Amino acid sequence: MNETRLVAVIAAAGIGKRVGADIPKQYLTLLDKTIIEHSINPFIEHPKVDQVVVSIAKNDHWFDSLAIAKNPKIKLVEGGDERVDSVLSALKVIPDTDYVLVHDAARPCITRADIDKLIDYVSVNNNGAILASKVTDTMKRSDSNGNIKSTVERTDLWHALTPQMFQNKLLQKAILAVKEPHLITDEASAVEMSGLPVTLIEGRSDNLKITREEDLQIAALYLSRSLT
């Protein structure tokens, strides 16, 4: 990775219906900023990140009103119907040799320390890696009626987080090679299907994704704690 540029890709074209708001969840206010501002700021402020490409929906009229929209590191692209389409739109405007850190717009609690851990690992090892946290709860698999079907062994089981870091050329090739794009649940899954290794870097479990209304309160607690 010597002298290679780093670019953060922020997937922000979703509408987040499960939160129950009348605007996309990434534009809900969390403490003194929107969720997406909390998610983007650590990358804007990171000295090793050269650019932040934000993939937004075609009809998005919220992002331009944010103060960060004027930051010179920011570049906007139009996203697609699915998350993978939005990520791919961003990757296409980034040089092939750059390394990308793909992050969810709805993960506002990402820390500088975790970003550094991911960058440091990939810089030395040159293979893809993702932040993840170990599963500590007992895991159950259900049937279609919501009844317990089995207990899943939690040893070596992880929650996949973001950012996820890969060389842009490798990631694009992996995504485009998947014949059934609906099988791509995150960037790592596409690279896994290509047969290449992806390393799990243990990150903080409080790097949660806002999906439900109660997540806003939990994220507010985590963020307020980090500011004190």
Give the model confidence (pLDDT) of 134-183 as tens digits.
Answer: 999 999 999 999 999 999 998 999 999 999 999 999 999 999 999 998 89
Reported residue count of the chain is 228
pLDDT at position 111, please?
96
pTM, to two decimals: 0.93
Using omega within 30 degrees of 0 as the cis cutoff, is the peptide bond preceding 163 cis? yes
Q: Dig out the tokens for 190 from the structure.
A: 């596409």
pLDDT at 227 over 90: no
Among the ranges given (8-17, 49-58, 105-114), the one the predictor scored with the smallest mean pLDDT: 8-17
* Domain 6-227 fold: Spore Coat Polysaccharide Biosynthesis Protein SpsA; Chain A (3.90.550)
Measuring CA to CA, how many Å separate 82 from each of 89, 142, 183?
11, 26, 11
